[in-house]
């Protein structure tokens, strides 16, 4: 099947440049154009409708990062397989879009971005202001140092992503400001995704948008700071992250080991004591709900696994989730499943995770807290005991893969929540 390509246009006061931007998009390269107007005071939205573009208008200005969140959310909702970010201010050449998506179509990249410095690129000749040239080079060098990467530029706004890439990134948790771009790219690198830069020309015109000096300095500080933090947490190019371990070979879905365990250990109803007064439990649940909101989901249906605690249900509904506690209810598949209590308390982790997957939609999200005994995320072999396996990163990863989930995020839980790590996974 031919992948659906969607070009998203984050617009603010783009009335003067929108038509020529759209006119320069190569014919047949995109299946759909989506423009998100960030409450512009001009005629941007009406002009976009006249050009036949799908338009969404923010009721109030949400800034650059907030605009991108809506762009990607609507593209995913529309079923896009490849999502392109193209600024409608004509700063980036739309004719570069075919080159941008070529590595993705060839299966060589999860994310691409245009680099004005790659190959024989000369941004100064293309009109880039000298202060932006110096700032771009300095921050790119620093971020490469902290991430162990070798990109020629890390601040381009011309980008493309696979659907799987966007579903694996917590982009709804990023800043609504300009540092959104850096957060997304840095997370993609440190989460082990294949990121490829593509040479593009530099083009600055009088109509091109420009970031004020003060905002630029905040962007630089935020970008470098985020690279330092993620590099420290996950290592250079994510080498400390369990996500880079990949799928454990002896616990691949459909393997004899998994089949044997499922046969020997049928799913059992969870037998847990609801401890609504437990402060650590409520704190952990709040963080699990936070994580559920970091990632895009088609709707707001949530499955709470292992509890019917009315306080927790009320907490989730208060955040806008439509909650279905427990298994076996005749309802539409959930979009997010939250395992309320740590995995070590489950009598049968593999079977329970499998049951959670059966109650989820095809791209559903699983959020779970790992055991408090998980102190070191390292390589360890399978113990053969599902309860003991969760004591290692490879064991927990194996449980997730065996139950039909792909891990996309690991974060340490604070001591007040019982320690351990918070794990987010997508249903494969």
- Contact predicate 349/396, CB 8 Å: no
Rounded to two decimals, what is the model's pTM?
0.87
pLDDT in tens, 232-247: 888 888 887 777 766 6
- Contact predicate 225/147, CB 8 Å: no
Burial of 382 by CB count in 10 Å (0-12 exposed, 13-18 middle, 19+ buried)?
middle
SS3 162: strand
Q: How far apart are CA 352 and CA 343, in angstroms?
A: 10
- Contact predicate 360/337, CB 8 Å: yes
Cα torsion 49, 50, 51, 52: sign: positive
| pLDDT tier for residue 203 given thresholds of 50, 70 and 90 | confident
Share of the chain above pLDDT 90, in %: 55
Phi, psi at 197, each rounded to 5°: -100, 145
Whether the predicted pLDDT of 248 surpasses 60: no
pLDDT computed for residue 381 by the predictor: 39
Whether the predicted pLDDT of 108 surpasses 80: yes
| Matching residue, tokens 């011309």 | 158
Lowest mean pLDDT among 18-27, 168-177, 389-398: 389-398
**DSSP label at residue 161:** E
- β-partners of residue 57 are 37
pLDDT computed for residue 281 by the predictor: 83
| Matching residue, tokens 């004719």 | 95
Residue 292 is encoded by which pair of tokens? 């559920």
| pLDDT tier for residue 263 given thresholds of 50, 70 and 90 | very low
pLDDT computed for residue 110 by the predictor: 97
Find the helix packing angle between 130-147 and 213-234, rounded to 10°. Answer: 10
pLDDT in tens, 125-168: 667 778 778 888 889 999 999 999 999 999 999 999 999 999 99
Q: How far apart are CA 377 and CA 427, in angstroms?
A: 22
User: Which residue segments constitute the domains of the chain, with CATH numbers given?
Assistant: 5-234 (3.90.550.10), 241-427 (3.40.50.150)
**DSSP label at residue 174:** S
**DSSP label at residue 98:** H
| pLDDT tier for residue 383 given thresholds of 50, 70 and 90 | very low
* Nearest of 392, 400, 389 to residue 376 by alpha carbon: 392
Phi, psi at 223, each rounded to 5°: -65, -50
Q: What is the mean pLDDT of the chain?
A: 83
Share of the chain above pLDDT 70, in %: 80
pLDDT in tens, 417-427: 766 788 999 99
Residue 27 is encoded by which pair of tokens? 């014919």
């Amino acid at each position: 099947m031919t992948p659906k390509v969607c070009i998203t246009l984050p617009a603010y006061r783009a009335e003067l440049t929108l038509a020529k931007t759209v006119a320069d998009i190569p014919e047949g390269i995109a299946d759909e154009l989506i423009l998100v107007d960030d409450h512009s005071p001009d005629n941007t939205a009406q002009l976009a409708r006249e050009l036949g573009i799908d338009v969404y208008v923010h009721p109030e200005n949400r800034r650059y990062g907030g605009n991108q969140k809506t762009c990607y959310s609507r593209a995913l909702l529309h079923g896009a397989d490849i999502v392109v970010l193209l600024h409608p201010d004509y700063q980036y050449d739309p004719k570069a879009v075919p080159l941008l998506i070529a590595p993705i179509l060839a299966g060589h990249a999860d994310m691409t971005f245009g680099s004005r410095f790659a190959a024989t690129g000369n941004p100064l000749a293309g009109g880039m202001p000298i202060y932006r040239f110096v700032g771009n080079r300095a921050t790119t060098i620093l971020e490469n140092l902290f991430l162990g990467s070798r990109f020629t530029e890390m601040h381009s706004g011309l980008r493309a992503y696979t659907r799987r890439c966007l579903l694996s990134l917590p982009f709804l948790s990023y800043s609504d400001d300009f540092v959104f771009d850096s957060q997304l790219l840095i997370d993609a690198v440190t989460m082990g995704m294949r990121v490829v830069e593509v040479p593009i020309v530099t083009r600055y015109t009088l109509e091109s948008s420009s970031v004020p000096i003060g905002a630029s300095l905040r962007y630089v500080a935020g970008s470098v700071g985020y690279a330092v933090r993620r590099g420290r947490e996950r290592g250079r190019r994510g080498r400390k992250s369990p996500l880079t371990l990949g799928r454990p070979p002896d616990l691949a879905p459909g393997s004899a080991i998994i089949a044997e365990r499922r046969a020997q250990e049928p799913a059992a109803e969870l037998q847990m004591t609801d401890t609504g007064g437990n402060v650590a439990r409520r704190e952990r649940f709040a963080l699990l709900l936070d994580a559920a909101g970091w990632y895009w989901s088609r709707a707001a249906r949530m499955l709470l696994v292992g509890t019917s605690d009315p306080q927790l249900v009320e907490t989730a509904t208060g955040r806008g989730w439509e909650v279905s506690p427990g298994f076996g209810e005749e309802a539409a598949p959930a979009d997010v499943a939250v395992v309320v209590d740590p995995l070590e308390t489950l009598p049968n982790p593999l079977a329970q995770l499998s049951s959670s997957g059966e109650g989820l939609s095809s791209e559903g999200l699983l959020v779970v807290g790992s055991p408090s005994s998980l102190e070191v995320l390292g390589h360890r072999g399978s113990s053969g005991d599902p309860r003991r396996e969760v004591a290692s990163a490879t064991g927990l990863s194996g449980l997730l893969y065996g139950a039909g989930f792909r891990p996309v995020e690991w974060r340490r839980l604070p001591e007040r929540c019982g320690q351990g790590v918070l794990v987010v996974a997508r249903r494969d």
